[in-house]
Structures are given as structure tokens and as C-alpha cells.
């Protein structure tokens, strides 16, 4: 039997029972559509989490001080509270191979006044390398320069959220031009605004939009009153492949600089951006798996529907099978005919399901704003799965048809 004839037979048989074929297909359509939509929602969530992690900088390694404990006490003040990281450590890290840039940070939260309005926000003392390392872009004006850091200039670069809080109102949006060259008062000290950063769209903790950047030295002199310790060091590795090596090198360097022989007792933490991405990904992966397996169950039910219909079809067409065998159809021909019927049903259902699932994902994005992403991989997988379901659930009925004795089949009433 030629493939074209097989297709013709199959198409004819499927089209004869339009309603029944349609309803059976519907099970697969819903199954595939929900798999596609669920995976799209899961992958969309993963994508948006990953991109927000990527937005804090590329090839980024963050070093934070460890937890501080008072002498004779076991009470921990929490990670990052110890005063163990020094500007000299940062300079030594900058000298390591494969380190592209190093930004030092000190930070604190203070009340900020300007223009008759006030807000409480994070003040970050840093160096000129910060925008490159942490992926921050200046909208208008300029960022803190090396010269500012060298002479402790009282200049500030403000984030868009701070700009709105200090210069805008409930009815009007503040423009960067309104803030440039204005004076803001942080902890009673006047700073001149020299730049406004572009919005990064972040939210929650460590929101880089809700921040004021000042020179590292100015923050130490005027705000913190200390110049000895850093609250964070950001390191940009020269490439993604070099990150693990750089991370290990930093750990070894700091252990020896801080005279610590047991790595478990380290007074600092080195966080790799890839680790953060991996941790977040594993959460969203679990989420995606959960959604996909729920959808998979409906696909399984659809498959059983296909099998049920195929078994009914085989019984109904017993005489036809007998006739086909009498006029020379082999077992293989009959098996193929019924198998391809099942595959045609699931494949058509799968194609419709992909379109429907894609549409559902699109509507979810359109109405709820949740990011979704229909990947080529999940489409190919859906096609593969629907064809496989056709073969798996069509095989038993097809074998049953092929195994019928032509005499019995012809006698069947």
C-alpha cells in the first residue's frame, strides 16, 4: 500500500465521522493547548526573573562581609553586618586576573530633603566603575567621576524613583531637568545633583531606581563617619567562563588576607550571579514542571479517549476489515491503516492545540500582563507528544483489527 493511498483511506475514515472525530480530537486539543499555555506561563516567569537578575549586571560577582558577632556572644547581627571588607581588599581583588572592573560600595538609609519634600532612601557611596559593573545607565547629566571620589565632592546621582519623590507631585511627573543642579540635603549635608539614572524597572529590595549615588569618599566622610570598611564589593569578571575561576581566586585571596585557614569560618560571602540565576531558575523550573504535569494529565485523558474511539471503530468496521483482508490486505496494511487514523486524529488535534495554547498564552499576557513565552522547543515537544500518543493509544486497537480472522470478520453482523 502506497503512503498516498494510506493517507487517502485514513482521511476518508476520519472525515466520515466528523462529529465523533472532532470530539475525540478535542481531548487532545485541550491537552496540548494546556501544556503549551502552562509551559509558556512557566517559561515566561522564568524569563522575566532571569532578565531581572541579569539586569543587575553581567558576569557579576558580589562580595559581602560575613555576620558580625560581639565578643563572648553568640548573637549574630546578620550577614553583611561585619566590618571586615576594606578598600585594600577591593584593590587586591582588582589586581586578580580576569577581573574586568571592581566597584566598591558603602550604603545606608537616610532621610533626604529637597524642594520642600522629603523621602527616606538608600544612599550608596561608590566609585566610577559602578555603572559598568551593575548595569546602570545615566539618563541625563553624568555619573560620579574618579575626581569626585578623589576629593570627596558632595555630588549626587539620583534614581528615577527618588526624582519623582523629591521633585514630582501626585499630579505631575518630574523630569530629570528639574533635578539637575538642584541641591538635596542628606543627613543634614547638602549635595548637588549631577545626574539622573535611567529606570531599570526593578522593585522590592535593592531597587536601583530608588537610590542616591554619591562618591564613596563623600559617603564615608559626611554620612558614615568612617573610611575603613565597605558594605559590598562588586566584581565584573571578564567573561562568563571565567566566573568560577575568579570567584575561587577572590575567596582564596580574601581568606589569606584575613588570615583565615578554615574556609567555613570565612568572614565574607562571595555570591556568583550564575548561582542566583540557577537558584531562581530551579524554583521556576519546579513551577513549570508542576503546571506541565497537570496539563499532561489532561493529555493522557485525551489519549485514552482516542483509544476508546479507535476500539469502537474497529468493532464497527469488523466487516470492512474482513473484506480488506479477503481482497489481499496484510496484517501490516490493516495495522498501518488504523494506526495512521489515530495518529491523524492526535496530530490534527495537536496542531489545533498548539494554536489554541499559543492564543491562550497571548491572552494571558494581554489581560494580566504576565510574561509568557511559547518556545519552539515546547511546540516541537507538543507535536512529538501528540504523535506519540496516537501511536501508543492507537497501537492496541490497530493490532486488534489486524489480528481479526478474515472469516470471522466477514461473518460479523
Partner 1 sequence: MMRTIIECRNIRKTYRTGNEDTVVLKGISFLINEGEFVAIMGPSGSGKSTLMHILGALDTPTGGEYFLDGRNIATFTDDELADIRREKIGFVFQAFNLLPRATVLRNVSLPLVYAGVEKEKREKIAEAALDDSAFPKAFWRHHSNQLSGGMMQRVAIARALVNDPALILADEPTGNLDSKTGEMVLHTFQSLNASRGKTVVLITHEPYVAEHAGRIIHILDGTIVSDKKNDARRIARKTDDEAHETH
Binding site for partner 1 (CB under 8 A): 1-2, 4-5, 9, 12, 16, 319-320, 322-333, 406-407, 410
On the CB side of 39, CA atoms within 13 Å amount to 22
CA distance 355 to 188: 61
Minimum Å gap between C-beta 328 and partner 1 is: 2
Minimum Å gap between C-beta 390 and partner 1 is: 22
Nearest residue (CB) to partner 1, 327 versus 376? 327
Minimum Å gap between C-beta 26 and partner 1 is: 23
Residues 394, 387: contact at Cβ < 8 Å? no
Minimum Å gap between C-beta 353 and partner 1 is: 28
CA distance 337 to 323: 14
Between the CA of residue 325 and those of 133, 316, 409, what are the distances in Å?
A: 75, 16, 9
CA distance 157 to 128: 12
- Spell out where 207-278 has E strands: 211-215, 232-237, 268-272
Would you tell me how many other CB atoms lie within 10 Å of the CB of residue 115? 14
Q: Which residues pair with 295 in a beta bridge?
A: none
Q: Pull the grid cell for residue 50.
A: 532571569
Nearest residue (CB) to partner 1, 47 versus 406? 406
Residue linked to cell 580576569: 98
- Among 315, 388, 110, CA closest to 222: 110
Nearest residue (CB) to partner 1, 3 versus 116? 3
- Among 191, 190, 193, CA closest to 179: 193
Q: Which residues pair with 191 in a beta bridge?
A: 184
189-217: b (≥16 Cβ within 10 Å) or e: eebebbbbbeebebeeeeebbbbbbbbbb
Secondary structure element (H or E) that encloses residue 193, with its range:
strand 189-197
Minimum Å gap between C-beta 387 and partner 1 is: 24
Minimum Å gap between C-beta 362 and partner 1 is: 39
Residues 412, 326: contact at Cβ < 8 Å? no
CA distance 230 to 224: 11
Nearest residue (CB) to partner 1, 138 versus 410? 410
What does the DSSP 8-state code read for residue 221? I
Minimum Å gap between C-beta 400 and partner 1 is: 15
Nearest residue (CB) to partner 1, 236 versus 320? 320
- Among 191, 192, 190, CA closest to 181: 192
Nearest residue (CB) to partner 1, 304 versus 326? 326
Minimum Å gap between C-beta 391 and partner 1 is: 22
Minimum Å gap between C-beta 323 and partner 1 is: 4
Nearest residue (CB) to partner 1, 323 versus 388? 323
Q: Which residues pair with 214 in a beta bridge?
A: 125
CA distance 385 to 284: 23
Residues 276, 316: contact at Cβ < 8 Å? no
Nearest residue (CB) to partner 1, 144 versus 321? 321
Minimum Å gap between C-beta 383 and partner 1 is: 29
Nearest residue (CB) to partner 1, 248 versus 407? 407
Nearest residue (CB) to partner 1, 227 versus 318? 318
Amino acid at each position: 500500500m502506497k503512503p498516498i493511498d494510506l493517507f487517502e483511506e485514513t482521511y476518508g475514515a476520519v472525515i466520515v465521522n466528523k462529529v465523533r472525530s472532532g470530539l475525540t480530537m478535542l481531548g487532545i486539543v485541550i491537552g496540548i493547548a494546556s501544556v503549551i499555555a502552562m509551559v509558556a506561563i512557566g517559561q515566561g516567569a522564568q524569563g522575566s526573573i532571569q532578565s531581572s537578575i541579569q539586569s543587575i549586571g553581567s558576569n557579576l560577582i558580589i562580595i559581602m562581609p560575613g555576620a558580625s558577632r560581639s565578643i563572648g556572644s553568640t548573637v549574630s547581627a546578620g550577614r553583611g553586618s561585619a566590618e571586615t571588607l576594606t578598600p585594600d581588599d577591593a584593590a587586591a581583588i582588582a589586581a586578580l586576573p580576569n577581573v574586568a572592573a571592581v566597584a566598591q560600595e558603602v550604603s545606608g538609609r537616610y532621610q533626604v530633603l529637597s524642594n520642600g519634600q522629603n523621602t527616606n532612601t538608600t544612599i550608596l557611596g561608590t566609585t566610577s566603575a559602578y555603572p559598568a559593573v551593575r548595569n546602570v545607565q545615566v539618563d541625563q547629566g553624568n555619573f560620579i567621576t574618579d575626581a569626585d571620589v578623589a576629593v570627596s565632592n558632595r555630588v549626587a546621582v539620583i534614581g528615577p524613583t527618588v526624582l519623582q519623590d523629591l521633585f514630582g507631585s501626585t499630579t505631575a511627573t518630574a523630569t530629570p531637568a528639574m533635578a539637575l543642579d538642584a541641591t538635596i540635603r542628606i543627613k543634614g549635608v547638602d549635595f548637588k545633583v549631577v545626574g539622573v539614572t535611567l529606570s531599570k524597572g526593578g522593585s522590592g529590595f535593592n531597587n536601583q531606581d530608588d537610590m542616591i549615588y554619591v562618591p564613596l569618599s563623600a559617603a564615608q566622610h559626611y554620612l558614615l563617619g568612617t573610611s575603613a570598611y565597605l558594605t559590598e564589593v562588586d566584581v565584573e569578571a571578564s567573561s562568563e567562563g571565567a566566573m568560577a575561576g575568579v570567584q575561587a581566586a577572590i575567596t582564596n585571596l580574601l581568606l589569606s588576607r584575613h588570615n583565615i585557614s578554615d574556609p567555613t569560618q570565612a568572614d565574607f560571602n562571595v555570591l556568583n550571579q550564575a548561582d542566583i540565576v540557577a537558584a531562581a531558575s530551579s524554583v521556576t523550573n519546579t513551577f513549570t514542571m508542576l503546571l506541565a504535569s497537570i496539563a499532561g494529565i489532561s493529555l493522557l485523558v485525551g489519549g485514552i479517549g482516542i483509544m476508546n474511539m479507535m476500539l469502537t471503530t474497529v468493532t464497527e468496521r469488523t466487516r470492512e476489515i474482513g473484506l480488506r483482508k479477503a481482497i489481499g490486505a496484510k496484517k501490516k496494511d490493516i495495522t498501518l491503516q488504523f494506526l495512521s487514523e489515530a495518529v491523524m486524529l492526535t496530530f490534527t488535534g495537536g496542531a489545533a492545540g498548539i494554536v489554541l495554547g499559543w492564543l491562550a498564552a497571548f491572552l494571558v499576557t494581554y489581560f494580566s500582563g504576565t510574561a509568557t513565552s511559547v518556545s519552539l522547543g515546547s511546540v516541537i515537544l507538543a507535536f512529538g507528544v501528540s504523535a506519540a500518543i496516537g501511536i501508543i493509544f492507537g497501537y492496541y486497537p490497530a493490532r486488534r483489527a489486524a489480528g481479526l480472522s478474515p472469516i470471522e470478520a466477514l461473518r460479523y453482523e
